[in-house]
């Protein structure tokens, strides 16, 4: 079958024999031979890219595709190591040979990057990255960081955040190679940089800071410094409001916005730390509890006290603010009634019982008839929001 063909045969021969100074007199190769090798190498890289793309469409077995991709990736890593060793073995300063070997290294690195970008799901991410390949990766990362650094520093508008972010990326490049580094860690750093490159293209400068925050939450950038920074910014925003009730509303709104941020499953900066979602979620829970208790102990002076009416009591003191719309709440209770999660004489009675105790950001007082009517004709957008909210609840329960 075509997928069993060894398409890296020419590159293998050139790297392990022709350009190995310990096996061949490489200084005897002239300019013409070098140009032929370089041209053929470029052609081989293109041929291998095309071959791998074709195989993903023609090979029906996912297991066979995975085997093919893993085989190509591991072979290329070995060849890259060998090519880097060849460069170190050169005893002369022959510019033709130095240029040829460096071009071959670049070609192998290009094919590796292609495989990692297009077929990463077939690669074993926990494998240790060999030293030579890691050196190439760090060069690429350093170059990309240098390209985005000026724009980020200028446009993010907060030195603390850019220092945290660039500090983590620079530490990766400056680290001693004695610590084993996996492909998973390499892919993570590359994905952070890729996200920052996209943010650098945002036209509206006032959106750049929040876009960086959303990226780091999405990629579970669980650096302690970042999580401390994020909670401090939230606290400053909430404490800008005076009365406790206003603080609570703003806190709940921020919590809602945080829960609605997208998250990529299965990724994190540091595998030894807790997830961003868990740490920040716990911070919100503690702050909400603190404000609730503080509100309970805020007693009005005696002269200002007057017994509240029953209606006023419900409206002012016992209402629960829900960040779903009336339509979405109605649909939720209709679903629970249909699935027998709730037991009542009728769904109308459920609506009549709960609406006096609920409010939404748009409605202080909810009509049970309105909730009932709207639950019969729900828009697709309301369904999607409710489904996403319930998925967040499921995710929270799983991690509890």
- CA distances to 269, 280, 354 from 275, rounded to whole Å, are 9, 9, 35
> Residue 35: pLDDT band by 50, 70, 90 thresholds?
very high
Whole-number Å distance between alpha carbons of 42 and 46: 6
Is the pLDDT reported for residue 162 higher than 90?
Answer: yes
Q: Angle of helix 131-156 relative to helix 159-174, nearest 10 degrees?
A: 170
Q: What is the pLDDT of residues 356-377, one digit of tens each?
A: 888 888 788 888 888 888 777 7
Is the pLDDT reported for residue 178 higher than 80?
Answer: no
User: Domain boundaries in the chain?
Assistant: 2-123, 128-219, 220-297, 316-399
Mean pLDDT to the nearest integer, 228-241 = 92
Is the pLDDT reported for residue 321 higher than 90?
Answer: no
Query: Which residue, 200, 82, 111, is CA-closest to 152?
Result: 200
Q: What is the pLDDT of residues 88-113, one digit of tens each?
A: 888 777 888 889 999 999 999 899 98
Place of tokens 């610590």: 179
Is the pLDDT reported for residue 255 higher than 70?
Answer: yes
**Coil, strand or helix at 265:** coil
Residue-level pLDDT at 163:
94
**DSSP of 109-133:** HHHHHHHHHHSGGGS-TTSBPPHHH
> Residue 51: pLDDT band by 50, 70, 90 thresholds?
very high
Q: Phi/psi zone of residue 157: left (φ > 0), alpha (ψ -120 to 50 degrees), beta?
A: left
> Could you give phi then psi for residue 321, rounded to 5 degrees?
-85, 120
Mean pLDDT to the nearest integer, 371-395 = 84
CATH topology of domain 2-123: Methane Monooxygenase Hydroxylase; Chain G, domain 1 (1.20.58)
- How many percent of the chain have pLDDT more than 90? 34
Mean pLDDT to the nearest integer, 345-362 = 84
Positive or negative torsion for Cα 339, 345, 351, 353:
negative
Place of tokens 């310990």: 22
Whole-number Å distance between alpha carbons of 215 and 147: 19
The two tokens of residue 328 are 């979405």
DSSP-derived secondary structure letter, 358 = E
The two tokens of residue 83 are 């090519």
Q: Distance between the two ends of the chain, CA-based, in angstroms? A: 49
> Residue 44: pLDDT band by 50, 70, 90 thresholds?
very high
Residue-level pLDDT at 311:
46
Q: Locate all alpha helices (DSSP H) within the chain, ordered by sequence.
A: 9-13, 31-58, 62-89, 95-118, 131-156, 159-174, 183-199, 208-218, 224-239, 244-259, 276-297, 310-316, 326-338, 347-354, 368-376, 380-399
Q: What is the pLDDT of residues 285-296, one digit of tens each?
A: 999 888 887 776
**Coil, strand or helix at 321:** strand
**DSSP of 190-257:** HHHHHHHHHHTT-S-GGGHHHHHHHHHHHTT---HHHHHHHHHHHHHHHHTS-SHHHHHHHHHHHHHH
Is the pLDDT reported for residue 298 higher than 60?
Answer: no
Residue-level pLDDT at 47:
94
Residues 6+ apart with CB under 8 A from 316: 308
The two tokens of residue 60 are 């029906």
């Amino acid at each position: 079958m075509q997928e069993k063909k060894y398409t890296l045969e020419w590159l293998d021969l050139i790297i392990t024999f022709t350009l190995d100074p310990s096996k061949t007199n490489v200084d005897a190769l002239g300019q013409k031979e070098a140009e032929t090798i370089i041209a053929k190498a470029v052609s081989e890289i293109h041929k291998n890219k095309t071959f791998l793309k074709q195989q993903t469409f023609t090979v029906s077995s996912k297991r066979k595709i995975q085997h093919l991709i893993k085989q190509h990736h591991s072979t290329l890593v070995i060849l890259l190591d060998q090519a880097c060793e060849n460069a170190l073995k050169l005893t002369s300063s022959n510019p033709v040979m130095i240029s040829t070997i460096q071009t071959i290294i670049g070609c192998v690195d290009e094919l590796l990057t292609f495989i990692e970008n297009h077929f990463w799901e077939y690669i074993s991410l926990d494998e240790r990255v060999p030293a030579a390949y890691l050196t190439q990766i760090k060069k690429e990362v350093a170059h990309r960081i240098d390209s985005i650094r000026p724009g980020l520093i200028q446009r993010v508008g907060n030195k603390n955040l850019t220092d945290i972010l660039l500090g983590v990326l620079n530490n990766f490049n400056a680290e001693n190679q004695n610590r084993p580094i996996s492909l998973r860690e390499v892919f993570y750093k590359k994905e952070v940089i890729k996200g920052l490159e996209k943010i650098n293209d945002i036209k509206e400068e006032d959106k750049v800071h929040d876009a960086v925050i959303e990226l780091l939450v999405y990629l579970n950038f669980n650096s302690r410094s970042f999580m401390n920074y994020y909670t401090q910014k939230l606290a400053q925003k909430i404490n800008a409001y005076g009365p406790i009730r206003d603080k609570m509303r703003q806190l709940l709104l921020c919590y809602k916005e945080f829960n609605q941020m997208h998250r990529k499953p299965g990724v994190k900066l540091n595998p030894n730390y807790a997830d961003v979602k868990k740490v920040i979620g716990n911070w919100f829970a503690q702050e909400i509890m603190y404000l609730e208790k503080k509100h309970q102990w805020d007693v009005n002076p005696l002269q200002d006290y007057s017994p509240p009416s029953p209606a006023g009591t419900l409206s002012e003191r016992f209402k629960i603010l829900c960040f779903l719309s009336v339509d979405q709440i109605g649909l939720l209770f209709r679903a629970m009634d249909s699935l027998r999660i709730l037991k009542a004489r009728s769904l109308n009675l459920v609506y009549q019982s709960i609406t006096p105790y609920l409010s939404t950001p748009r409605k202080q007082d909810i009509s049970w008839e309105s909730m009932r009517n709207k639950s019969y004709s729900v828009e697709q957008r309301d369904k999607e929001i409710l489904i996403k909210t319930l998925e967040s609840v499921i995710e929270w329960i799983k991690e509890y």
